[in-house]
């Protein structure tokens, strides 16, 4: 089997390390592996398939000889190195939001629009984690009838804010159990025993940047330029896996039975929908795996063409690292 030289930009962060884990799990045909991070991390080692790989400093000349670069860094880093990556002849699969809405850059969820990989120009964007979880859950409905609108509320785990999120939650729980004052550094307020209805900065229409991603990215991924989405994103004291409550409005009515059958057969989905037995998706069951669980499927009582559902998915894996590796696998197929 042909092997491919792979670099991970931002290899020491939570998503970068998860990418390494996914590459090994999925037996991706890695030839040379280059781990890139800031100068602070250069010289440290990370294990991969029984070997300790030394982390190198990310520089413009660090991408020579690479076939694929998986990006797990912030927007400014992605923008800084994208030209050097393309100049080196590698394909950049970027997990930041820097290029997602660029019309010249494919934005891909492999279960939904794998064909878009064919028109990349050396750069492919990985969607927002909540967008991925939600669209994987509802894409089967689009095949039954075009989606006109979605009304969604997300319940996002603290690990979505990086490695510091779970640490802050645990520290606050411990401090409160001892009657001590809590400190909030990662989140704008105490997250232990609380929910925070803001992720990202507010724009002029009162929505946050995180909330607008569902509509803006959804239009591009689903090839539905007129899609309308109202979204509220909430940070909750859950360590891992995002949950989303969503009502989907379609062109024609879809029965609950049709929806269940379609979702059960959809790639990347698992139907967990048995209210009588108290079976429905939950973050604890969806963590550290790649399938989006979907349940609580019922009629939307406010719209005859609406269905309400609840879904959960691991935002570090399917919402970030695994989706990027799946895109890389699409590149090998092409």
Confidence (pLDDT) at 221: 98
Residue 206 dihedral angles phi and psi, to the nearest 5°? 90, -5
Confidence (pLDDT) at 333: 85
Cβ contact 128:213 at 8 Å: yes
Per-residue confidence band for 183, with pLDDT thresholds at 50, 70 and 90: very high
Whole-angstrom Cα Rg for the chain: 20
Confidence (pLDDT) at 136: 98
Taking all residues of the chain, what is their mean pLDDT, rounded to a whole number? 97
Is 90 exceeded by the pLDDT of residue 126?
yes
Give the pLDDT confidence of 12-57 residue by residue, as tens digits. 999 999 999 999 999 999 999 999 999 999 999 999 999 999 999 9
Confidence (pLDDT) at 1: 79
**Whole-prediction pTM:** 0.96
Q: Do domains 4-127+320-333 and 131-315 have the same CATH topology?
A: no
- Does an H or E element contain 148, and which? strand 147-156
Cα–Cα distance measured from residue 150 to residue 317, given in angstroms and rounded to the nearest whole number: 24
CATH 3.40.50.920 fits 131-315, yes or no: no
Cα–Cα distance measured from residue 223 to residue 143, given in angstroms and rounded to the nearest whole number: 12
Cβ contact 35:9 at 8 Å: no
Give the pLDDT confidence of 146-165 residue by residue, as tens digits. 999 999 999 999 999 988 99
Give the pLDDT confidence of 223-265 residue by residue, as tens digits. 999 999 999 999 999 999 999 999 999 999 999 999 999 999 9
Cα–Cα distance measured from residue 15 to residue 169, given in angstroms and rounded to the nearest whole number: 19
**Percentage of residues of the chain with pLDDT beyond 90:** 98
Domain ranges, ordered by start, for the chain: 4-127+320-333, 131-315
Q: What is the DSSP string of 212-269?
A: HHHHHHHHHHHT-TT-EEEEEEEE-S-SS-EEEEEEEEESS---HHHHHHHHHHSTTE
For the record, the structure tokens of 297 come out as 């499927």
State the average pLDDT over residues 72-80.
Answer: 97
Confidence (pLDDT) at 56: 97
3-state SS of the chain: helix, strand, coil percent to 5? 35, 25, 40
Q: What class does CATH assign to 4-127+320-333?
A: alpha beta
- Does an H or E element contain 149, and which? strand 147-156
Is 80 exceeded by the pLDDT of residue 334?
no
Q: Which residues are catalytic?
A: 129, 242
For the record, the structure tokens of 128 come out as 């927002």
């Amino acid at each position: 089997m042909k092997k491919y030289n792979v670099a991970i930009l931002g290899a020491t962060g939570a998503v970068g390390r998860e990418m390494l884990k996914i590459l090994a799990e999925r037996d991706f045909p890695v030839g040379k592996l280059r781990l890139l991070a800031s100068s602070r991390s250069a010289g440290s080692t990370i294990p991969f398939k029984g070997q300790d790989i030394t982390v190198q400093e990310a520089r413009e000349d660090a991408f020579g000889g690479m076939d694929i670069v998986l990006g797990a860094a912030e927007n400014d880093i992605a923008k800084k190195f994208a030209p050097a990556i393309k100049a080196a002849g590698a394909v950049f699969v970027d997990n930041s939001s820097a290029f997602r809405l660029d019309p010249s850059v494919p934005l891909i969820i492999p279960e939904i629009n794998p064909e878009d990989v064919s028109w990349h120009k050396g750069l492919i964007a990985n969607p927002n984690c909540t967008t991925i979880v939600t669209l994987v859950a509802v894409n089967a409905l689009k095949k039954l009838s075009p989606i006109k609108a979605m009304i969604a509320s997300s319940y996002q785990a603290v690990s979505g804010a990086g490695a510091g999120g779970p640490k802050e939650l645990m520290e606050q729980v411990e401090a409160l159990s001892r009657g001590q004052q809590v400190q909030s550094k990662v989140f704008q307020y105490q997250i232990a025993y609380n929910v925070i209805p803001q992720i990202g900065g507010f724009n002029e229409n009162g929505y946050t940047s995180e909330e607008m991603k569902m509509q803006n990215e959804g239009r591009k991924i689903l090839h539905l330029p007129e899609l309308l989405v109202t979204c509220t994103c909430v940070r909750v004291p859950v360590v891992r896996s995002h949950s989303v409550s969503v009502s989907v409005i379609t062109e024609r009515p879809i029965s609950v039975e049709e929806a269940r059958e379609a979702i059960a057969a959809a790639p990347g989905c698992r139907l967990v929908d048995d209210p009588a037995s108290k079976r429905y998706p939950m973050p604890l069951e969806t963590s550290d795996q790649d399938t989006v669980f979907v349940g609580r499927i019922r009629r939307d009582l406010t719209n005859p063409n609406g269905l309400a559902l609840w879904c959960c998915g691991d935002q570090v894996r399917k919402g970030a690292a695994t989706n990027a590796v799946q895109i890389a696998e699409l590149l090998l197929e092409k």
